[in-house]
Structures are given as structure tokens and as C-alpha cells.
Structure 1
Amino acid sequence: MTWTLENFPLEMQDLKPIIREKAIEIANKLKQERTVNELAIVEEAIKQAEEWFLNLEG
């Protein structure tokens, strides 16, 4: 199942919309590349999206 802006993991609920969108994109990519559990994928996607956002702000 692919996550979308309307259907995403509960752990992403409190993220800023721009970070949530990036986290969903990353999580969907990780789901295709890895066979680890979904919680690990969500946590890694959130971490990467937050780092991406911080780098975006400079």
C-alpha cells in the first residue's frame, strides 16, 4: 500500500505539511527498497524529511 497525503501513518500526523509530504515520499521509496517493518521505515522517513527541511531552511 502506498501512503498519500490523505492516507499516511499516524506517526506523521503532527509534522508540518511540507515535512509530512517529504516523509511520505521518502517512506514510499524506502518501502520499495527495503523489507524491514513499516514502523522502522516511518521513523527513518521522518528523520530524513526533518533533516531535508533543516537543510532547506539553511
Structure 2
Amino acid sequence: MPWTKDDYPNSWKNLKKSEREKAIEIGNALLKDGYPEDRAIPIATSKAEEWYKNHKKS
């Protein structure tokens, strides 16, 4: 089941809004590629945090 802005993993509730939206985007792509939720969540979290850190600098 894909995640949305209103329905996402509890662990993403403390991410900044733009960071959470990126995590949702990445997480949904991982799910579409066949990753199980328990792997997609930490990968998407890590990638979204990395994206936010790099995005903030520009």
C-alpha cells in the first residue's frame, strides 16, 4: 500500500515536512521495486535525510 502525506510510517512523523515528503516519494518507489516495508522504511528515511542535508545547502 503506497504511503501518502496523511498516511505514512510512524517513524517519519518527526521528520521535517519536506524531508517526510521525500521519504514518502523514495519509500513508494522502493515498494514499487519490490522492497518489503520493513526494508523500505529505513532506506527511505536515510536517503531523505541525506537529500535534505544536501538540498538545504543549495
Q: Displacement, 1:20? A: 0.3
The gaps in structure 1 that reach 5 residues or longer are none
What is the CA RMSD across the aligned residues, in angstroms? 0.9
Q: Are 1:52 and 2:51 counterparts?
A: yes
Cα distance in 1, alignment partners of residues 42 and 52 from structure 2: 15
Moved over 6 A (4+): none
TM-score, reference length from structure 1: 0.90
Cα distance in 1, alignment partners of residues 34 and 2 from structure 2: 14
Percent identical residues = 39
The gaps in structure 2 that reach 5 residues or longer are none
TM-score, reference length from structure 2: 0.90
Cα distance in 2, alignment partners of residues 42 and 14 from structure 1: 14
**What is the aligned partner in structure 2 of residue 33 from structure 1?**
33
**What is the aligned partner in structure 1 of residue 8 from structure 2?**
8
Count of residues paired in the alignment: 57
Q: Displacement, 1:21? A: 0.3
1:9-30 CA distances to partner (integer Å, 9 max, x unpaired)? 1111111111000000000000
